[in-house]
Structure 1
Amino acid sequence: MRRWMRPAALALAVLAGAGTTGFTATPAPPAESAPPPAATLDPDLAAQVDALARAALTAGATGAVVGISDPVRGSYLQAYGTADTAGTPMTTDVHYRIASVTKTFTAQAVLRLADQGRLSLDDPLEEYVPDIPHGDEITVRHLLGMRGGVYSFVRDEEFMARYVADPLLPGWSPYDVLEIIRAHADEATPPGQATVYSDSEYVLLGLVIERVTGRSAQQYTTSVIEDLGLQEASYPTTAALPEPYTHGYMNTDSELTPADPAAEEPRDVTLSNPEVPSTAGAVISTVPDMIRYAEQLASGTGLAPETARLRQEWTPLTSTGLRVQYGLGVLQLGNWVGHNGSIFGYSDMVGHLPEEETSVVVMVNAADAEAVPAMALWSGIVTLLYPDSLPTW
């Protein structure tokens, strides 16, 4: 199955707005109070991290950025390789598409609306988006937890062929996703039976946000990002990325688009239409911003305490091997809390280890929206520094 994130592949890689709230939320600290991590990691450990990062520059990836924030071992922020095939050095402040990490912001937006009393997590989807299979049974909570049973539109072969041919996909909108969902009604399942990753469920949540707020999902999600003090994160309205940015490439070992043997360089897929992933994967950021965000995500910053607790009531995404679970728009990978993502040209992992108060963020500038190349690097770093943090079932 194709998706902005693949939990099964993830496990294998590791093993290899307006209104009063009526509550006191955990406030976001001012951005200036949480500077990017300094290069203070022990030199021997840093050298081992460097070796892992350099080894990750394969299969079309020209560069990577690694960020580590650890109050005991020290912090580290380093760029590797180049930002493009022309040889421009990679820098630590480059913007990139965070792919499915976007879902954490979409969930934050919905949960904030719930805290404000503007919607209930038990509201049926039918109240906001009509004519979705099982829409009268699916709740907002089901969608947040990947338990809605909704057909994931990225599995549709006709859609994927069009998207691969032209990532700009002119004229696309989330309403095209609805048509795909309805066309595959026989592949929907009743909600609440299993936790199954579906990008469609987060596109639907974007439409819920719009119906509740009267604003575009892009506008409302932007307000959530701003409230968290993330100055480099943005929800784009065009195919462009803010400067500076790294180019993104299709990984050359992709089964989705096999590399042309005659091509001298990997396919550049930097420019893509943000309306395609929309609230399932459109946001752009930087590694330093995501280091700051990792702790906010794990601690429930900006949410009522009970909502933050509810967000981390986990259900299994895997049953054997590495323990991978899903909450409400947040992933638990072993003992780590965060999310990963893969989209044309970019893969990443944002993780926080609460018991160590540690964050590790990795970006690699190659992906195909299915494989998550950044996971091998992230897991290598985590296994090196925190070997007991990735328990299995």
Structure 2
Amino acid sequence: MSMSSARLRRGATIAMLAGTLVVPLSTGTAGAAPAAAPAALTTDSPNPSPSEPAVRPLTPQVARQLDAAVQKVMHEAKVPGVTVGIWAPGQPSYVRSFGVADKSTGQKMAPGLYMRIGSETKTFTVTALLQLVDQKKVGLDDPIGKYIGGVPNENRITLRQLAEMRSGLYNYSEDPDFVQALTSDPQRSFTPEQLLAYAFKHPVMFQPGQKFSYCNTNLILLGLVVEKVSGQQLGGYLRQHVLDPAGMKHTLFPTGSEFPDPHAQGYTQQTGNGREADAADWNPSWGWAAGAVISNLQDLRTWAPTVATGRFPDGKRMVSVTAQKQRLITPQTSSIKGAGYGLGIFDVQGWIGHNGSLPGYESLTVYLPSTRTTLVALLNTDTDYRSQEPSTVLGAAITKIISPGHVYNLPVMHTG
């Protein structure tokens, strides 16, 4: 599928939830009223519950089953390379790379490679926002117009509604002129203001709070709020207040198309003509606060429990208990029970985190608080398989094996 209308408008498959930077996650609507977060997610330090199914021990037999499942998905979905990491307390870790990082040279995929992680960026941007909430510099229920002018419905849309994808604003990455500009020159640089201009020429889709609709525009606005209130550029703020305290030395917020070595090449058909291209040097500025971040396996292993619990690895709080509870209120957003979206984060059958997708790359970083299990998957393609993102197919295949009581069944929803 080309990166024109269909892909950019539908966005990452993840429908309701999270994801992808490219129109990421497809937008969707949620009919259920907000529900309180499950108790296991709102506790200050989640512990396994005896009543919940445990993750299967990562024995050699289970590891072989995982190897076969990953390779089956790769073969069927034509994924060049994959790295998967699974970690649980008191168990052997499972860290494997399969396939190639570079089709032209045959370089093997490896755990240490840098990858673009698309809409996982949203978890970082919203963390920055929540830190400012904790400092009483902003309020979640403040209108966006208090900080940024010229926004449709600016006096009615709150920061909370932006973070939970219920603003009603148009998604700039669905705009035909934006799609044309991006596909005609994928190395061009976009400013946040240019991205917002594509969105704001469209009328609002619904009144704030009425529906769930996954929208990158929301995160661009929140990134600008962080910059205005903190007085720092977003990348600098994240480095000082989130990444360094978490010990994440291999995660960065690029200002252009820079991509540290060693990195995997990324393969996409979002090229305008539908032909596969290597997108490694494409400029992710069009995703900015919604999807520009670069990371690697070990840093994402750190981030999964950090963002899910609100605590840095040293035990210090990244955001307050109150803010974390607010983040993890995840109202159902589709017909699939057990799948919902909170403040820049999702809960899919107990797995807390986010996915990401942008041309050439997909990722999935999730944490299961009931067993303190972390799952990270990194792929160097974003080409759909049977109308699903390959990261979703892979996540489902893995969790059917390791956590049959918590299968990652992210729904597919199309823009409506």
Cα distance in 1, alignment partners of residues 58 and 304 from structure 2: 19
User: Aligned pair 1:351/2:366, yes or no?
Assistant: yes
- Judged with a 3 Å threshold, the aligned counterparts in structure 2 of structure 1 residues 10 and 307 are, in CA distance, closer, same or farther, namely closer
Cα distance in 1, alignment partners of residues 380 and 337 from structure 2: 25
User: Aligned pair 1:215/2:232, yes or no?
Assistant: yes
Cα distance in 2, alignment partners of residues 322 and 81 from structure 1: 34
1:376 corresponds to: 393
1:245 corresponds to: 263
1:360 corresponds to: 375
1:2 corresponds to: 10
Out of 148, 167, 176, the residue aligned to residue 148 of structure 1 is 167
1:269 corresponds to: 279
* Corresponding residue SS for 1:177: helix
1:2 Cα deviation (Å)?
3.4
Cα distance in 1, alignment partners of residues 16 and 168 from structure 2: 18
Cα distance in 2, alignment partners of residues 227 and 9 from structure 1: 28
User: Aligned pair 1:205/2:213, yes or no?
Assistant: no
* Corresponding residue SS for 1:280: helix
* Greater Cα offset, 348-357 or 220-229: 220-229
Does the 8 Å contact 1:3/1:198 carry over to 2? no
Out of 113, 116, 136, the residue aligned to residue 94 of structure 1 is 113
- Judged with a 3 Å threshold, the aligned counterparts in structure 2 of structure 1 residues 334 and 235 are, in CA distance, closer, same or farther, namely same
Does the 8 Å contact 1:10/1:375 carry over to 2? no
User: Aligned pair 1:54/2:71, yes or no?
Assistant: yes
User: Aligned pair 1:68/2:86, yes or no?
Assistant: yes
* Corresponding residue SS for 2:223: helix
* Greater Cα offset, 52-61 or 353-362: 52-61
User: Aligned pair 1:284/2:299, yes or no?
Assistant: no
Instruction: Render the CA deviation track for 1:156-185: whole Å, top value 9, x for unaligned.
Output: 122112212322124x1110122112210x
1:134 corresponds to: 153
Identity %: 31
Letter in 1 for 2:64: A
Does the 8 Å contact 2:18/2:356 carry over to 1? no
Does the 8 Å contact 2:382/2:389 carry over to 1? yes
- Judged with a 3 Å threshold, the aligned counterparts in structure 2 of structure 1 residues 208 and 338 are, in CA distance, closer, same or farther, namely same
- Judged with a 3 Å threshold, the aligned counterparts in structure 2 of structure 1 residues 10 and 49 are, in CA distance, closer, same or farther, namely farther
1:83 corresponds to: 101
Out of 204, 209, 213, the residue aligned to residue 192 of structure 1 is 209
Cα distance in 2, alignment partners of residues 8 and 125 from structure 1: 23
1:366 Cα deviation (Å)?
0.2
User: Aligned pair 1:236/2:254, yes or no?
Assistant: yes
Does the 8 Å contact 2:184/2:272 carry over to 1? no
1:57 Cα deviation (Å)?
2.6
- Judged with a 3 Å threshold, the aligned counterparts in structure 2 of structure 1 residues 322 and 315 are, in CA distance, closer, same or farther, namely closer
2:134 corresponds to: 115
TM-score norm. by structure 1 comes to 0.85
TM-score norm. by structure 2 comes to 0.80
Does the 8 Å contact 1:60/1:250 carry over to 2? no
User: Aligned pair 1:309/2:328, yes or no?
Assistant: no
Instruction: Render the CA deviation track for 1:69-118: whole Å, top value 9, x for unaligned.
Output: 01254311111111110200111011101101100000000000110111
Instruction: Render the CA deviation track for 1:169-207: whole Å, top value 9, x for unaligned.
Output: 24x1110122112210x2432111122111110011011
Gaps of 5+ in 2: 1-8, 20-24, 26-43, 46-56, 312-317, 412-416
- Judged with a 3 Å threshold, the aligned counterparts in structure 2 of structure 1 residues 146 and 8 are, in CA distance, closer, same or farther, namely closer
* Greater Cα offset, 197-206 or 172-181: 172-181
User: Aligned pair 1:332/2:347, yes or no?
Assistant: yes
Letter in 1 for 2:99: G
RMSD of equivalent CA atoms:
2.6
Higher RCO structure, 1 or 2 (CA under 8 Å, sep 6+): 2
Cα distance in 2, alignment partners of residues 156 and 79 from structure 1: 37
Cα distance in 2, alignment partners of residues 288 and 126 from structure 1: 39
Letter in 1 for 2:404: P
Cα distance in 2, alignment partners of residues 196 and 304 from structure 1: 27
- Judged with a 3 Å threshold, the aligned counterparts in structure 2 of structure 1 residues 391 and 274 are, in CA distance, closer, same or farther, namely closer
1:17 corresponds to: none
Does the 8 Å contact 2:140/2:158 carry over to 1? yes
Cα distance in 2, alignment partners of residues 242 and 127 from structure 1: 37
1:49 Cα deviation (Å)?
1.1
Letter in 2 for 1:7: A
